[in-house]
Structure 1
Amino acid sequence: MDHRKRRRLEEQIAQELVLMVALVLLALVQTSVLPRPYAIVPNLLLVLVVCQGLISEPDVAVRWALYSGIGLDLCSGAMLGSHAMALLCAALAATLPLAWLNRNNWMLPLAGVAIGSLVYHGVLILMLGIEQGWFDIQPYLLVVALPDIAAALIPALPLYLILRWDRARRRGELAIDIY
């Protein structure tokens, strides 16, 4: 019996390490490989963290946000911890108020990603203000935040449906939407 507990702990640690490496690699892909149409970097990690948090629990979203944020901090030239803090705040702000809603609602990922993106950019503005001194935020909002929020809403629903289908498949549930 002791062997099973130890093995289970080892499996959990291995699973977390695989998740960490996968999210750091996805951060590397996001910062270096993804195309930038009209100079807009698609923030897929934010969408992934929020959608995963809406499907499962907020504590899962916090873990994913921490791993993704550390990966983004390592791959970008920003202050270490800024993306991690922004993703943590965005994950909590997007998942906690919407946790009581039905998971079959298709507006849920759109609302969650919109809330998460607003909080993400709000925290990044605060971090930039602390690091570089206060600046005029109107150009940042118009040039960076608004296009990024619009670009994040595009893959939100398909990614949410894929993650929801995968979770139902792993649990052995039959996913049928009846309207």
Structure 2
Amino acid sequence: MRIAILTGVLVLGLASCDQIGLGGDKSTKQEASPKVEPEVSTSAETVEVETAAKPFTITYDQDRIDGMLVPDTLSVALNEDSTITVSGTAEGDKSGGRTSGAAFIIPPGYVRDMAGQNVTISWRAMGEAGSSMRVAYSTAGSGNSGWQSFDLTDTMSEYSFDYKLGDANAGRDFIGIMPVNGPVTLGEITVSPK
């Protein structure tokens, strides 16, 4: 008796799901969906994806100045025209890590996006006649540009240099600024992919 009841329940359950027709029109029976096999590619193809790295620009406000790494022998002042003046004499000549100059931190996300690429570091600056400045792009573990020297004029002028970033970086990158023979007035700094 149990087997007959269980069989009856099973038949009723299947009928209600339109899986079988019980004495009715077989046209109400649903057709099974065709089995779709996934396409499998047997060719080995390498696709290069270019990153859409964007320029990173350092502009100046008091928060940016407060976040700079500035040795005791240097000072940084924010000017009314949104430029800064870096003055003093740097101790040492370190162009790696934080550098001996005043240093800006490059955000880690930008550093990851730009890893292994050539970049151009550009800015506007001026100083007293006969003065110069040094600028370095420094990584926390995969090299640095070394100090790049630039003679300054008494009017704002454009300066730049190119540098190839390392493939990987375990920490933060920095841009170091060092005045030589007098204060440096500095406009925004931009790091752009080439």
Shorter chain as denominator, the TM-score bin is under 0.3
The structure with the largest alpha-carbon Rg is 2
More helix by share: 1
Alignment TM-score, normalising by the size of structure 1: 0.26
More strand by share: 2
